[in-house]
Homo-oligomer: A and B are copies of this chain.
Amino acid sequence: MIDQVPTLAQLVKQLQQIPYLASKNVYRVAHYFLMLDQARVQQLCKIIIDAKMQVIACQTCFVWKEKERTCPFCDSKRRDITVICVVETWQELMAIEKTGGYQGLYHILGGAICPLNGIGPENLTIDPLIKRINESVREIILATNQTPEGEATASYIASKLKDRSLKISCLARGIPVGSTLEYMDRVTVFKALSERRPF
């Protein structure tokens, strides 16, 4: 039936390509756009295009920044330049920033090493990371995800840095706050137990 409304079919096709938009929700979002005012739709599209034109990745830490402005991390005087937190993507950086508990710099890798998907170290920003580590940097926090790919990436970076006099740390593993042991997978429980800390 949707073939008979080709403009709408095209919109649905575009929305289907957006990752993380569940296929069940594509029709709802298409419906949402059609129900909006004409002016709101124009504004939405203008904002998407503006963001695409104005926002670029910082060439040092690869965090999104305004083309016309300095990087909110690298060029900030309030951040602690002795620590660099290495994350896979910008979304993970946002998760850390939301805690308000970190004042250092960041480095966005652009993903994790995954040979099956053809992503090797050369496809990530590992070389720029190695190059930007100067004598003022004292600690590297490897905050890649706790997935096989994320852990492999952290190991790879750690091996590249082993000759430098740097503190290399990673995030604590254990039971998430608010969870019960009963529903936790056994690997997590095992890690929480073996990496237990003084009360």
The answer to whether A11 and B41 touch across the interface, beta carbons within 8 angstroms, is no
A172 at interface, CB cutoff 8 A: no
A199 CB to nearest B CB, Å: 32
A184 CB to nearest B CB, Å: 20
Which residues in window 1-44 of A have CB below 8 A to B? 1-2, 4-8, 10-11, 14, 18-22, 25, 27-34, 36, 38, 41-44
Counting every copy of the chain, the complex holds 2
In the bound complex, residues from chain B placing their C-beta under 8 Å from that of A33 are: 48, 51-52
The DSSP consensus for interface residues of chain A is helix
Assess A5 versus B65: contact at CB under 8 Å? Given A10-B50, A28-B20, A34-B51. Answer: yes
How many residues of chain A get a CB closer than 8 Å to chain B's CBs? 51
The answer to whether B90 and A11 touch across the interface, beta carbons within 8 angstroms, is no
A127 at interface, CB cutoff 8 A: no
Apart from the given pairs A6-B66, A14-B44, A31-B90, 8 other A-B contacts in the complex at a CB distance below 8 Å: A5-B65, A7-B66, A8-B51, A8-B64, A20-B28, A27-B90, A33-B51, A38-B53
A positions within 8 Å CB-CB of B: 1-2, 4-8, 10-11, 14, 18-22, 25, 27-34, 36, 38, 41-45, 47-55, 64-66, 69, 72-73, 89-91, 94, 97
7 sampled A-B residue pairs with Cβ under 8 A? A5-B55, A5-B65, A8-B64, A10-B47, A20-B28, A31-B89, A44-B48
